[in-house]
């Protein structure tokens, strides 16, 4: 099995990025949205941030990497016929499960209620990543909604990203779990830029206090600052949007939380989507290299 995985990694590494019409090598940047604790609104952030990035002009692919408890499609009001489980079981090809979401967003739906999907064998992971690799060439930005926690599958998706957004709330249990996530990323030698997004803010001071607490941890374990990406105010109407399976960015585009998300999306595009000076190994090639 190890030889098969090594062969697949070698095959993927031989593929080079495709040139863009302007002559530059296309580089899809990867944003992993993660959080140490469930219930902090991570998936809701990933979905609506993807919509904001798409609206701002990026070609976005949203991957639901919560392989056993996926719900990205539910938040978008989509009903996929096939998911990643069908790809793993070789019932369909990967391109057949890509569905169109609002604003032209492309979505790769995960699986729900299948515990075996959350702990795939190494060879299945390699096969899936090899198939996913081709799709990065068609997009400017890949947003990955990971599962909650610090399991091996979560870390595998996060560790090769260009940018990692850690979502937390100002509540002490959520901050403590974000602390644990930062330590786990350090133990995995994650090279990505870490950013913090604080969700469900009741007042501005909570944003700064939460960042100050976690920035100290990041400096200790990473030796680099934890970027404060921004905060999203608490908005009770979001609950109604979730129940209706409608993204709040579409339903309430002028609400304070949507405006804040729009600013965050623009910050990400302005600061992180410039083409690299030299060709870099693509995200899924890096992930394939990380499989042991």
Tens place of pLDDT for every residue, the chain, 292 residues? 444 444 434 433 333 333 333 333 457 888 999 998 888 999 999 999 999 999 999 999 999 988 767 789 999 999 999 888 888 888 898 889 999 999 999 999 987 655 666 666 767 767 776 777 778 888 999 999 988 888 877 887 887 788 999 999 999 999 999 999 988 888 888 888 899 999 999 999 999 999 999 998 888 877 777 999 999 999 999 999 999 999 999 999 999 999 999 999 999 998 754 444 444 566 666 665 655 5
| CATH number of the CATH domain containing 265 | 3.40.50.300
Task: Find the domain containing 144 and state its range.
Answer: 28-78+101-114+139-275
- pLDDT value for 288: 59
Query: What per-residue confidence (pLDDT) applies to 6?
Result: 45
pLDDT of residue 117: 62
- The pLDDT of residue 116 is 62
Distance CA 256, CA 269 (A): 20
Residue 276's CB is within 10 A of a number of other CB atoms, namely 12
Quote the CA–CA distance of 85 and 110 in Å, as a whole number. Answer: 7
In this structure, the strands spanning 227-233 and 193-201 are parallel
**Residue 71 lies inside a defined structural domain of this protein:** yes
pLDDT at 280: 53
Q: Are 269 and 139 in contact (CB under 8 A)?
A: no
Find the radius of gyration of the CA atoms of the chain.
Answer: 18
72 within 8 A of 144, measured Cβ to Cβ: no
Number of domains in the chain: 1
Question: Is residue 73 domain-resident?
Answer: yes
Helix count (H) and strand count (E) of the chain? 12, 8
User: What would the two tokens of residue 183 be?
Assistant: 């330590």
| Cα 103 to Cα 187: distance, rounded to the nearest angstrom | 38
For the record, the structure tokens of 16 come out as: 């080079």
Residue 18 lies in a domain: no
Edge-first strand order for the sheet with 60-65 is 99-100, 106-108, 60-65, 141-146, 29-34, 163-168, 193-201, 227-233
In a domain, residue 61? The reply is: yes
| Parallel/antiparallel/unpaired status of strands 29-34 and 106-108 | unpaired
The structure tokens listed for 163 are 């940018």
Per-residue DSSP letter, 145: E
Backbone angle region of 14, left / alpha / beta, with phi > 0 → left and psi within -120 to 50 → alpha: alpha
Determine contact, residues 67/108, Cβ cutoff 8 Å.
no
179/99 Cα distance (integer angstroms)? 35
Q: What is the pLDDT of residue 185?
A: 87
- Cβ(186)–Cβ(155) below 8 Å: no
User: Looking at residue 24, what DSSP letter applies?
Assistant: S
Q: 267 in a domain, yes or no?
A: yes
End-to-end CA distance of the chain: 11
Token readout for 87 is 């790809």
Q: Tell me the pairing of strands 99-100 and 106-108.
A: antiparallel
In a domain, 96, yes or no: no
- Which two tokens mark 202? 């009741």
Label residue 212 exposed, middle or buried (CB < 10 Å: 0-12, 13-18, 19+): exposed
**Beta pairing, strands 60-65 & 106-108:** parallel
* pLDDT given for residue 254 in this prediction: 95
Distance between CA atoms of residues 60 and 147, nearest Å: 20
pTM of the entire predicted model: 0.83
What is the structure's pLDDT at 3? 46
């Amino acid at each position: 099995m190890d030889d098969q995985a090594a062969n697949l990694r070698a095959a993927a590494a031989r593929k080079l990025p495709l040139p863009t019409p302007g002559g530059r090598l296309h580089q899809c940047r990867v944003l992993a949205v993660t959080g140490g604790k469930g219930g902090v609104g991570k998936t809701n952030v990933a979905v609506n941030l993807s919509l904001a990035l798409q609206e701002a002009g990026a070609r976005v692919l949203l991957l639901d990497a919560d392989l056993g408890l996926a719900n990205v499609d539910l938040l978008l009001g989509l009903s996929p016929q096939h998911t990643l489980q069908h790809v793993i079981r070789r019932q369909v090809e990967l391109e057949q499960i890509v569905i169109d979401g609002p604003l032209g967003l492309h979505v790769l739906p995960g699986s729900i209620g299948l515990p075996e999907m959350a702990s795939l064998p190494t060879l299945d992971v390699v096969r899936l990543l090899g198939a996913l690799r081709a799709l990065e060439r068609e997009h400017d930005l890949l947003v990955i909604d990971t599962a909650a926690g610090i399991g091996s599958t979560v870390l595998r998706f996060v560790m090769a990203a260009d940018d990692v957004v850690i979502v937390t709330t100002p509540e002490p249990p959520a901050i403590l779990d974000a602390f644990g996530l930062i330590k786990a990323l350090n133990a995995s030698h994650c090279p990505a830029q870490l950013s913090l997004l604080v969700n469900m803010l009741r007042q501005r001071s909570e944003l700064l206090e939460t960042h100050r607490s976690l920035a100290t941890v990041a400096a200790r374990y990473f030796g680099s600052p934890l970027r404060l990406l921004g905060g999203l105010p608490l908005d009770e109407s979001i609950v109604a949007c979730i129940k209706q399976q409608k993204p709040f960015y579409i339903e309430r585009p002028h609400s304070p939380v949507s405006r804040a998300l729009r600013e965050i999306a623009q910050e990400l595009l302005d600061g992180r989507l410039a083409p690299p000076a030299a060709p870099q190994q693509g995200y899924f090639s890096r992930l394939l290299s990380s499989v042991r």
